[in-house]
Amino acid sequence: MAWRNFYNEIKGLKLKELPGQVKPLLSIENVKKAVVRGLDNYNEKYIQTGSIDPLYHVCFGGMIFSYLVALPEERRHLEHQQHAKEHGH
């Protein structure tokens, strides 16, 4: 919904006018307010209801984070393996 409102606000603007419209939205104050509002909404939706979903979020988030952290090392390993295969080692 917020993205749709944002799109409707900027769709009639010219490119030169866009930074003036977007810059106030990306101020430190607005970002802080958005983060606090998001945390409050998460607390109300999941924590206060006694839902088990936050546990799932932590587990799946941890799995995704560990995969992303290990990915560069795995890619280097696979590139080294491919290089060795090409040169007959």
Asked if 53 and 59 count as a contact pair (C-beta separation under 8 A), the reply is no
How far, rounded to the nearest angstrom, does the alpha carbon of residue 65 sit from its chain's CA centroid?
Answer: 12
* Cα distance between residue 53 and residue 35, in whole Å: 20
Dihedral of CA 25/28/29/34: which sign? positive
Per-residue model confidence as pLDDT tens for the chain (89 residues): 678 988 888 888 888 888 888 888 889 999 999 999 999 999 999 999 999 999 999 999 999 999 999 999 999 999 999 999 998 77
Amino acid at 34: A
Domain ranges of the chain: 51-88
* Cα distance between residue 47 and residue 53, in whole Å: 9
Instruction: Compute φ and ψ for 13, nearest 5 degrees.
Output: -85, 155
